[in-house]
C-alpha cells in the first residue's frame, strides 16, 4: 500500500528506491548515496553499482532512507553487517524459520540479533510455518469441508 510521507534527505544519506523507474534505469530495491542536492530539487546519487543518477525529487518521489529494510525486501542483496530486530511479542508466525533464514542469509561478515526474549525466540526460529497449497488438499476433505457428499 502506497502512502506518501514527508522525508528529509541530506548529502551523504543512503537511500532506497521504492518504485522502478525505466528512465533512470533503477529498480524497486536499488540503493544509492546522495552526492548532491541542487536548490531546484535535483538530486545526484551514486547507486551501489557505482552508476550515477540524477532526478528531480518533485517528479521521482518514490524513495526512502536506505539504512533499515524489512527482511523480505533485500532479496538477492548482501550486506557486510546485518542487524536483526526479533521481537517475540509479535504474532509467532511473523518471525519463524523462513523469516529467520531470509534475515540471516543476507550478511557476509557479521549478523547480530536483538531480541526481547531469547528463550521464546529459539522455538520460533526452529518452528516451521508451512502453508498448504491447493494441490495438497485432498478432494474428500474439500468436499466435506463445504458440506457436500461424494
Kindly tell me the burial class for residue 81, based on how many C-beta atoms sit within 10 Å of its own C-beta (0-12, 13-18, 19 or more): exposed
Same domain, 84 and 58: no
Same domain, 92 and 50: no
Query: Does residue 33 belong to any structural domain of this protein?
Result: yes
Q: Inform me whether the pLDDT recorded for 11 exceeds 90.
A: yes
Compute the average pLDDT of residues 27-43: 92
Q: Which of 74, 113, 75 is nearest to 95 (CA)?
A: 113
What are 81-106's pLDDT values in tens digits?
A: 777 777 777 766 666 667 666 677 76
Domain residues for 59? 14-65
Q: How far apart (Å, rounded) are the C-alpha atoms in residues 110 and 104?
A: 9
Q: Domain count of the chain? A: 2
Query: Does residue 37 belong to any structural domain of this protein?
Result: yes
Query: Does residue 108 belong to any structural domain of this protein?
Result: yes
> Any idea what DSSP says for residue 19?
S
What are 100-130's pLDDT values in tens digits?
A: 666 777 667 787 888 888 888 777 777 655 5
Query: Does residue 144 belong to any structural domain of this protein?
Result: no
Cα 54 from chain centroid?
A: 24
Q: How far apart (Å, rounded) are the C-alpha atoms in residues 102 and 28?
A: 18
Q: Inform me whether the pLDDT recorded for 66 exceeds 70.
A: yes
Higher pLDDT, 136 or 66: 66
Compute the average pLDDT of residues 30-47: 94
Query: Does residue 61 belong to any structural domain of this protein?
Result: yes
Query: Does residue 131 belong to any structural domain of this protein?
Result: no
Per the CB < 8 A criterion, the answer to whether 87 and 95 are in contact is yes
Same domain, 54 and 88: no
Q: How far apart (Å, rounded) are the C-alpha atoms in residues 77 and 149?
A: 50
| CATH number of the domain encompassing residue 40 | 2.30.30
Per the CB < 8 A criterion, the answer to whether 30 and 46 are in contact is no
3-state class percentages of the chain: helix first, strand second, coil last, to nearest 5: 20, 30, 50
Same domain, 23 and 58: yes
Same domain, 86 and 61: no
Amino acid at each position: 500500500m502506497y502512502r506518501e510521507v514527508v522525508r528529509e534527505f541530506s548529502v551523504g544519506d543512503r537511500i532506497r528506491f521504492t518504485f522502478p523507474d525505466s528512465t533512470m534505469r533503477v529498480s524497486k530495491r536499488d540503493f544509492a548515496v546522495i552526492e548532491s542536492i541542487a536548490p531546484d530539487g535535483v538530486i545526484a546519487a551514486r547507486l551501489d553499482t557505482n552508476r550515477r543518477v540524477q532526478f528531480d525529487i518533485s517528479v521521482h518521489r518514490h524513495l526512502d532512507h536506505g539504512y533499515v529494510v524489512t527482511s523480505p525486501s533485500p532479496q538477492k542483496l548482501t550486506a557486510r553487517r546485518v542487524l536483526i530486530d526479533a521481537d517475540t511479542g509479535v504474532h509467532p508466525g511473523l518471525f519463524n524459520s523462513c523469516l529467520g533464514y531470509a534475515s540471516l542469509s543476507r550478511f557476509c561478515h557479521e549478523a547480530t540479533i536483538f531480541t526481547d526474549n531469547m528463550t521464546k525466540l529459539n522455538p520460533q526460529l526452529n518452528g516451521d510455518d508451512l502453508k498448504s497449497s491447493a494441490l495438497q488438499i485432498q478432494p474428500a476433505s474439500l468436499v466435506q469441508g463445504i458440506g457436500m457428499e461424494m
